[in-house]
Structure 1
Amino acid sequence: MHTITIRVQDRPGVLARISELLAGHGCNINSLRVRPERRPGVSRMRIITSVDEERLGVLVSTMGGLQDVLEVRAAADRAATGYWLVAYGLFATILGLNLATPLYAIYREQWALSPAMVALLFAAYAFVVIPAIVCFGQLSDRSGPRAILAGGAAVSLTASICLATAGGVYALLAARALQGLAVGMFNGVAVAALTLLHPSADRHRAALLAAIAVTCGNALSPLLSGMLAEWAPYPLQLPYALHAVLMLPAVVGLLLLRLRAPASGKGRDGVAVSAQTACAEAVAVGANADSAGAAGAAKPGARDADDAGVAGQPPSAAGPGLTPPELGYIVEAAPATLRAATAPRSAGVLHWPRVPRAIRGPFYTASASSFIAWAAASLFMSLIPSYMNEWVGRASYVLAGITAAIVLGVSAVSQALLGRLPLWRMATVGFAFLLAGFGVLWTSMLFSSPLLLVCSALLVGLGHGPLYAGSLASVNALAPGEARGDMVSFFYVGTYLGVALPVLGLGYAAQQLTLLHAVELFLAALAGLSLLVWLRWRKYDEWRSPT
């Protein structure tokens, strides 16, 4: 990938001649930015295109001889570095989120924490994520994602330092809240930034990379801290110190990153790429990192027939010919001949997400399904690691990390394996595995069996994946284009409430009852809610096109 900078006379036909030359050399314009210089009548073009080194010299030399071309320079494209830097920042930020999972048992013993306080320590971040994800996605549409991403990385670094130096439970709660703020700043904004930095502004590939980064960060985090806590010194400091070191290059790199504001960004279809839109159109991809979204025929990025492509082909499937939708260019301050068709959308005021009345029924069904899926997964990331000795008869930080990692890792694999099923069938399979996992989990407590605990983690992971993926994909399929951003933001609100509220209730119940009875009540409540929601899923087909 190379960047070609061209100074041109601002006259009609100059872009057509440059495009024709590139097409003749078999090159697509992956992105194009045009802005006027101080000298009247002169503009500067910045073209990103794929061309090998051998042809680059010939191309630049020939381009310099075109009519109205004043100067041509070529250099290797730096956007690829920024693309992977944003992905790394997202991975590192998510990595820090669950480092505390295997360490709750140490905190509980060291500070005599109650089950309710352990649950609050885990859930504290979710209450900050909810407003953060709603606000920062909209703010990014106004000011651009660079400052928000750099700020999120800095907040994540600060949170790890606070966790490593925490001397009490309130310091831990504050640090967990900072982690929630960091995740809320990155979530969605990172997808928009990756889309802008992708050579062809491909929203699907950008969301795919974001999904992989989030999945890897979530799965590796408890495993890493569990191993360090089991076999390395300073178990309450070393995991966070290592994470702080990993965050440093992300903070510095994002501060230096050159990234245009998403309000002026155009995807391959010429539609402005905002943080909320990129997040919304990436929903199914984030849920299923192996397919074009679990929605199957409902393409996540498609807003109309032209955007969906022809006969299932993506919009970029065409050859070197440069029709307007394939240009996918970015215009910052173009001359009048280029500006008219590429004017950015105006940013709206901050608002609370809303769901259209006609699709509230299926939307709330999908949100309830995600709520249940994450409530089950959260149990393996909060109270189970904290009470491993009571659960299986011996304390093991590695086992605590493994069970949490299994749930999240198997979830990602099951999304890939089951993502092409019809949505209602994904929900059915997900609920079936979850209910089986609940039964095995209850049995593991009765017999204090580590093997049964691991089996229950496998089953819950197998249920979590298709249920979460199907819920996300159904929201993406149901949402009208103009409300998709709001619906996805609101969906995340329900998801993070599922992370926090059930576990807090379980922690409170464990204080009033025994741990076994509280878990039995928790599992019975989730099982009953699962059956009710599954009955609603059976009406999905008639809801998909509401009247």
Structure 2
Amino acid sequence: MILTGRVLSGLSAGIFTGTATVAVIELAPPHWREKATFFATAANMGGLGLGPMLAGALSQYLPWPLHLTFLVHIAMAVLAVCCIWAAPETVSKPARPRLSIQRLNVPAEVRGVFIPAAIAGFAGFAMCGFFTSIAPAMMGKVLGYDNRLLIGVVAGSIFIASTLGQFLQGTLPLRLRLPLGCVSLILGVIPIALGIYTQSLALFVVGAVIAGMGQGISFRAGMGAIAAASPVREKAAVTSAFFVVAYIAISVPVIGLGLMASVTSLKTTGITFAAVMGSLAALALVLLIRRERAGGN
């Protein structure tokens, strides 16, 4: 039943995330367009960060720990339905609307931006997936902490840092946003790996914050660059394609982590994963530098 619920919640996120992001941007007045991009992406990452923190607090300090979190979640979902029902439509609806599978598409003119942004997004979201799945076990079995609120705070810290990175991204020069996000991701995985190796919670959290800020910067910068480069009629399809990459990254590598942890130690698994994600961020940075130089020539 738990696996069924996970599959259904994942399907729901896949259905509405890309469309909701575009809708928020389209509903904003022109002078709020940049802020709307931030609120749309920050809602995703902020929710992912606050979720484990809230669940940790409820399960650690309040009664009915296995049920209360889900009741709170249901209440928030009902509130979301009410808000969506009241929101104005951003497109003209056909007389007889039909549900269909949206075709993902990355037009040729967008691929030069999409590929490095997608690689950086994959590395950043994979680190987020690591913190929501393996980090709790890492906290208990490697670092030696069992307080569920603390575990939730550590697991959610990368997402909160991501939201902060998205906010700060607007203060950076436009052409440097995505490269700086990649650099921050690379710098973040180093203390994460060292924290696991030395069993230091402080290093582990510092790495999560640095990597989270890098993920937030690269995610929002990549989303903005992709949206700006996409034809109007293809925005939802391209945005959904970007989110598909992101959600594959936050889920599929976790399976590999579980397999690796079953044949080797949890410590080795965490260090290896951090190194691989740092390498992916470095690859995205190299592609961005090459693209910048090619554009300059």
Q: The TM-score by the shorter chain falls in which range?
A: 0.7 to 0.9
In structure 1, how many angstroms separate the alpha carbons of the residues matched to 2:36 and 2:166? Answer: 18
2:248 match: 497
CA deviations over 1:106-146 (Å, ceiling 9, x no partner): xxxxxxxxxxxxxxxxxxxxxxxxxxxxxxxxxxxxxxxxx
Query: CA separation of 1:211/1:436 partners in 2, compared to 1, >3 Å: closer, same or farther?
Result: closer
Q: Deviations over 1:450-501 (max 9, x none)?
A: 2222212211112111121222122123223343332222111111111122
| Deviation of the 1:175 alpha carbon | 0.7
SS at match of 1:421: coil
Name the CA distance, whole Å, in 1 between partners of 2:250 and 2:205. Answer: 21
So what's the TM-score if we normalise by structure 1? 0.48
Deviation of 1:369 (Å): 1.0
Alignment partner of 1:233: what SS? coil
Q: Compared with structure 1, are the counterparts of its residues 482 and 539 closer, same or farther at alpha carbon in structure 2 (3 Å cutoff)?
A: farther
Change (3 A) 1:469 1:543: farther
Relative distance call for 1:544 and 1:506 in structure 2 (3 A) is farther
**Distance in structure 2 (CA, Å) of the matches to 1:407 and 1:414:** 10
User: Is the contact between residue 228 and residue 235 of structure 1 (CA under 8 Å) also seen in structure 2?
Assistant: yes
Q: 1:174 corresponds to which residue?
A: 4
SS at match of 1:395: coil
Are 1:225 and 2:55 matched, yes or no?
yes
1:305 maps to what in 2?
Answer: none
The secondary structure found in structure 1 opposite 2:142 is: helix
Give the CA deviation at 1:513. Answer: 1.1
The equivalent residue for 2:186 is 435
CA distance in 2, matches of 1:249, 1:262: 20
Letter in 2 for 1:176: R
- Could you tell me how far 1:209 is from its partner in structure 2? 4.6
Cα deviation, residue 220, structure 1: 1.7
Higher RCO, 1 or 2 (CA under 8 Å, sep at least 6)?
2
2:45, 2:162 within 8 Å by CA — same for their partners in 1? no
Compare 203-212 and 461-470 and name the one that shifted more: 203-212
What does residue 393 of structure 1 align with? 144
Listed one character per residue, the Cα deviations across residues 413-466 of structure 1 (whole Å, up to 9, x for unaligned) are 122223343455223322222222212112212232222222122111121111
Q: Name the SS for the 2:132 alignment partner.
A: coil
Match of 1:311 in 2: none
Residues 45-70 of structure 1, C-alpha deviations (whole Å, 9 max, x = no match): xxxxxxxxxxxxxxxxxxxxxxxxxx
Which residue number corresponds to residue 282 of structure 1?
A: none
The amino acid across from 1:425 in the alignment is L
1:445/1:213 Cα in 2 relative to 1: closer, same or farther (>3 Å)?
closer
Where does residue 378 of structure 1 map in the other structure? 129
User: Which stretches of structure 1, 4 residues or more, deviate above 4 A after TM superposition?
Assistant: 191-198, 200-203, 205-209, 258-262, 346-351, 542-545
Larger Rg: 1
Q: Confirm whether residue 535 of structure 1 aligns to residue 289 of structure 2.
A: no
User: Which of these residues, 186, 191, 200, is aligned with residue 16 of structure 2?
Assistant: 186
Shift of 1:201: 9.2
Q: How many equivalent pairs are there?
A: 295
Q: Which residue of 1 aligns with 2:177?
A: 426
| Equivalent residue, structure 2, for 1:475 | 226
The 5 A counterparts of 1:310-459 are 350-459=101-210
SS in 2 for 1:381: helix
Change in CA separation of 1:201 and 1:442 when aligned onto 2, cut-off 3 Å = closer
Post-superposition Cα deviations, 1:345-378, rounded to whole Å, max 9, x if no partner, equal: x999755222223442432121111111111121
The offset of 1:224, in angstroms, is 0.7
Task: Answer whether contact 1:423 1:474 (CA < 8 A) is retained.
Answer: no
Aligned to 2:263: 512
Distance 1:387 1:225 in 2: 18
Partner residue, 2:92: 264
Q: Distance in 2 between matches of 1:425 and 1:202?
A: 23
For the residue of structure 1 that corresponds to 2:105, the secondary structure is coil
Deviations 1:361-398 (A, max 9, x none): 43212111111111112111110113321231221211
Match of 1:430, SS? Answer: helix
After TM superposition, give the deviation of residue 216 of structure 1 in Å.
3.7
Structure 2 counterparts to residues 104-183 of structure 1, below 5 A: 171-183=1-13
SS at match of 2:103: coil
Provide the rounded CA distance (Å) in 2 between the counterparts of 1:357 and 1:249.
40
- Alignment gaps of 5+ in structure 1: 1-170, 266-331, 333-343
Given that residues 183 and 285 in structure 2 are in contact (C-alpha distance below 8 angstroms), is that contact kept between their aligned partners in structure 1? no
Alpha-carbon distance between aligned partners in 1 of 2:259 and 2:274, rounded to the nearest angstrom: 15
- Structure with greater helix share of residues: 2
CA distance in 2, matches of 1:241, 1:523: 35
Q: Is the 8 A contact 1:263 1:347 kept in 2?
A: no
Distance 1:507 1:353, change over 3 A: same
Shift of 1:237: 1.6
Tell me if the contact between 1:424 and 1:540 (Cα under 8 Å) persists in the aligned partners: no
Q: Which amino acid aligns with 1:521?
A: T
Question: Structure 2 CA distance, aligned partners of 1:194 and 1:373?
Answer: 23
Partner of 2:69: 239
Q: TM-score with structure 2 length normalisation? A: 0.84
Paired amino acid for 1:264: S
Contact 2:161–2:212 (CA under 8 A) maintained in structure 1: yes
